[in-house]
Amino acid sequence: MKVTVSRKSHFNAAHRLYNADWSDARNATVFGKCSNPNYHGHNYELIVSVKGEIHPETGFVMDMKILKDLISIEIEEKFDHKNLNEEVEVFKTLNPTAENIVVVIWNQLRTKIDESLELSVTLYETPRNFVSYSGE
């Protein structure tokens, strides 16, 4: 009897799409205004979901307060009000597309969440663009 528990959080950040192996011209052609060298930014909305058995004593799959704090420490403190390209180590060499960000977040959280729980992450870059990853 497995239930999925989800917690929504958010962070604001600047980024630009950029492949360091390409010329500036090719970056501009492929990524358009998303590659503006002066950066632009988003209010990212993040949904973290864990799936597992309900613990019979607590009635919890996972205490949402613990999940909330985990997201705060592992993701919000590292990403919020940051320039992703300049200030988040992994994105110095990895293009911070929504797809790459969601995989980075999943990998970061996966090491901190009990292995018995399945993990999936959804990231809204804008209210109209979003991505999901569940480690498959």
C-alpha to C-alpha distance for 2 and 90, rounded to whole angstroms: 34
State which of positions 112-131 bind a copy of itself (CB under 8 A): 126-131
Quick check: 17 binds a copy of itself (CB under 8 A)? yes
Quick check: 103 binds a copy of itself (CB under 8 A)? yes
Residue 90 sits at the vertex; the CA angle it makes with 84 and 93, to the nearest 5 degrees, is 90
Is 81 an active-site residue? yes
C-alpha to C-alpha distance for 133 and 75, rounded to whole angstroms: 16
Count of CB atoms within 10 A of residue 131's CB? 16
Give catalytic residues, as residue numbers.
34, 81, 125
Which residues form the interface with a copy of itself (CB under 8 A)?
1-10, 12-15, 17, 19, 21-22, 30, 32-34, 36, 38-43, 49, 54, 57-61, 64-65, 80-83, 86-87, 94-100, 102-103, 126-133, 136
